[in-house]
Structure 1
Amino acid sequence: MTAARGIRSLPDLAEARRVAAAVCDPEVPVLTIEDLGVLRDVRVDGDRVAVTITPTYSGCPAMDAIRDDLVLALTAAGFADVRVDVTLAPAWTTDWMTEAGKRKLVDFGIAPPTGRAAVSGLVRVQLGVRCPRCGSLDTREVSRFGSTSCKALYECRACLEPFDHFKVH
């Protein structure tokens, strides 16, 4: 980025954060990586924008695509030097998802995670998964793994529609 007199200005942190936060998840494109809680940090170190992301699980195949999309989005916005770091600690949890992101999942036909993953004391048992189409709790798990490893495949017994459920973890 160039200032009025040809002096190179430092990258703007707020703008870098806004651009990074708008990158969509390649597996669930209605969610941004901010909605999903994958975007952990955006820093400006001199001329460099450094972004930290955490995968939803350690073998998540979307991380390379997210890294590439971040670099493309930030360089297109005028940030010349971009570094994307992937960190596994602390481990991602569905608790990091935004409420707006959970609403977007429902609108997209995916049951969002319910409850909190990071609980202490009593172990909470989920009695049912609400169908994102009709709202019924009369659902059953068809497969522990849905379209991605982060989701389980469910079927609604009321409307007979299959749907993904984002697993709490």
Structure 2
Amino acid sequence: MVTPAAAVAATVTDPELPMLTLADLGVLREVSETDGRVTVAITPTYTGCPAMDTMRDDLEHALRGAGYTEIDIRTVLEPAWSSDWISEHGKRKLAEAGIAPPGTAPRRAAGPIPLTLSAPVRKVDCPHCGSPDTEEQSRFSATACRALWRCRSCLEPFEHVKEI
């Protein structure tokens, strides 16, 4: 059952991808209400994400606007966020905004992550024309969780949310 506080929190949008709610992005992990106190758990897309303060402020503002006065917003780092947590609705919203949504994140074994010197070959369809004939221009874009790509068919640049 979705609590009233959870319904309010689910409307808060991401400051860097405003077409998505924190729930669509998979950052909003849990909302609970106990004795008039609302506890919210959020997980950053990556450790050190500079948008976390804004997310906390926006959640608190929305909840206070709905009449809640006792609010505890916690950052939860485990399990680490995965791009697989983006909802199907969120992936559609990204594509509609001209940002290529992530595919399925690679599965990693427990323990140390092996160092590889070459980037994995990715295929990303153009969110503008749908062509698979695209190329990565830069592994980093406006945020660390996005990369800059270009379509060879329509020649439009676009961002791609990385598979994490």
Alignment TM-score, normalising by the size of structure 1:
0.87
User: 1: distance between equivalents of 2:87 and 2:6?
Assistant: 16
Q: 2:128 aligns with which of 117, 125, 133?
A: 133
Query: Shift in Å at residue 104 of structure 1?
Result: 0.1
Q: How far is the alpha carbon of 1:127 from its aligned partner?
A: 4.0
Deviation at 1:118, TM superposition (A): 3.6
- Matched ranges for 1:79-118 at <5 A: 79-118=68-107
Q: Is the 8 A contact 1:16 1:42 kept in 2?
A: yes
Matched, 1:153 2:151: no
SS of residue matched to 2:77: coil
- Superposed CA deviations along residues 53-103 of structure 1, whole A, max 9, x for unmatched, are 000000101100000000000000011111100111110001111000000
- Give 1:147 shift: 1.1
Contact 2:3 2:33 in 1 (8 A): no
Partner of 1:42: 31
Aligned equivalents of 2:40, 2:61: Cα separation in 1: 13
Residue 59 (structure 1) aligned to one of 41, 45, 48? 48
Matched, 1:29 2:18: yes
Aligned to 1:19: 8
Superposed CA deviations along residues 97-131 of structure 1, whole A, max 9, x for unmatched, are: 100000000000000001234466xxxx6541100
The letter for the 1-side match of 2:100 is A
RMSD of aligned Cα (Å): 1.5
Q: Percent sequence identity over matched residues?
A: 54
Q: Is the radius of gyration larger for structure 1 or structure 2?
A: 1
**Contact kept? 1:110, 1:164, Cα under 8 Å:** yes
C-alpha distance 49-165 of structure 1, shift in aligned 2 (>3 A): same
Q: Is the 8 A contact 2:3 2:32 kept in 1?
A: no
Which structure 2 segments of 5+ residues have no match?
110-119
Unaligned runs of 5+ in 1: 1-12
Task: Give yes or no for the alignment of 1:142 onto 2:131.
Answer: no
Amino acid of the structure 2 residue aligned with 1:161: E
